[in-house]
Chains A and B, each alone.
Chain A
């Protein structure tokens, strides 16, 4: 009995996995290298209709069409850069999840590095101020004298 239910379960599970495969675009590739390139391209290209999904993860019509285009271009022997250029010419920088280094993206690329150095500089200053013995002496000699005068009044 246990065996029978296990068999049924196995059948059900294998059937479910079959339908899951059928829902993914069934693109065929002549070799594994092309399949890998296709997969990495649809992974790094962004769906133009959705703000935060790549082509691989989106079920929108435009993503399906663009996956089909990527497949076609890869089969035509286009390089990864040529596929990216094709997409960028039509959809602009938006489609690149891995933006190019150029004037308008300097902030994006170097902003975090700059912020990191600012943070380090602030930290260094704070730490050095706290540990420096000069910090103990808050008042200048003049001020100290004035304070003494005031206190002795």
Chain B
């Protein structure tokens, strides 16, 4: 009698296992979005021209000093047009400098693109061969990084930034970093 009961339980157990497996499987994040390997690592070293002033050489030292956003964009990227109004808003309202990486693109086209859509960037790093993009683990554009004052990558977003993502995900990171830097500064004063 008891062995009969046990075998009746098998379909139930299989069903529960299936529910668990599928439940976990479907609640995983979008498999297209790769977790970034670069969080908590310094921004990769680079030497590249500035988009509007190609004689100027930029290095990662230019990104240090302030909490900032680095946006990887290109003229061939439709989502970059989509997110552009939000970048403009951030540059005007949020008090965070926004640096651009013009990824796998042509200087002339990129300059024209910024004239057409307005330029939210403090400066733009020309990455015409995608080398910096590879060092940043970029696999598509747009991608947006939050860098702390020491030039360490703290956050990465793949895909277009919008108001919701900025308020919900990026702003807390920026505020946390600001709070930390204030804390270290006052700690420095106490000493």
Listed in ascending order, the chain A residues whose CB lies under 8 Å from chain B are 48-49, 51, 61-62, 65-66, 69, 88-92, 94
Contacts and interface: CB of A to CB of B under 8 A. Distances in A.
**Main SS at interface, chain A:** helix
A89 to B, nearest CB: 6
A107 to B, nearest CB: 12
Interface stretch (B89-97, B117-125, B127-135, B159-167): B127-135
Nearest to B35: A92
Interface string B1-39: 000000000000000000000000000000110111110
A51 B136 CA distance: 19
B42 interface: no
25 contacts: A48-B34, A48-B137, A48-B139, A49-B140, A51-B31, A61-B104, A61-B130, A62-B138, A65-B104, A65-B130, A65-B133, A65-B134, A66-B134, A69-B134, A88-B37, A89-B37, A90-B37, A90-B134, A91-B34, A91-B37, A91-B137, A91-B139, A92-B34, A92-B35, A92-B137
Interface in B27-59: 31-32, 34-38
Nearest to B41: A89
B81 to A, nearest CB: 18
B105 to A, nearest CB: 11
The bracket for how many chain B residues form the interface is 10 to 19
Contacts of B140: 49, 62
Nearest to A64: B130
Nearest to A62: B139
Contacts of B138: 62
Interface in B96-123: 104
B134 A92 contact: no
Contacts of A91: 34, 37, 137, 139
Given A62-B139, A91-B34, A92-B137, 5 more contacts: A48-B137, A49-B140, A62-B140, A90-B135, A92-B35
Contacts of A92: 34-37, 137
Contacts of B135: 90
Given A62-B139, A62-B140, A90 B38 contact: yes
Please name the 4 residue pairs, one residue from A and one from B, whose CB atoms are nearest each other, closest first. Answer: A48-B139, A90-B137, A65-B130, A92-B37
A49 B133 CA distance: 13
A92 B140 CA distance: 15
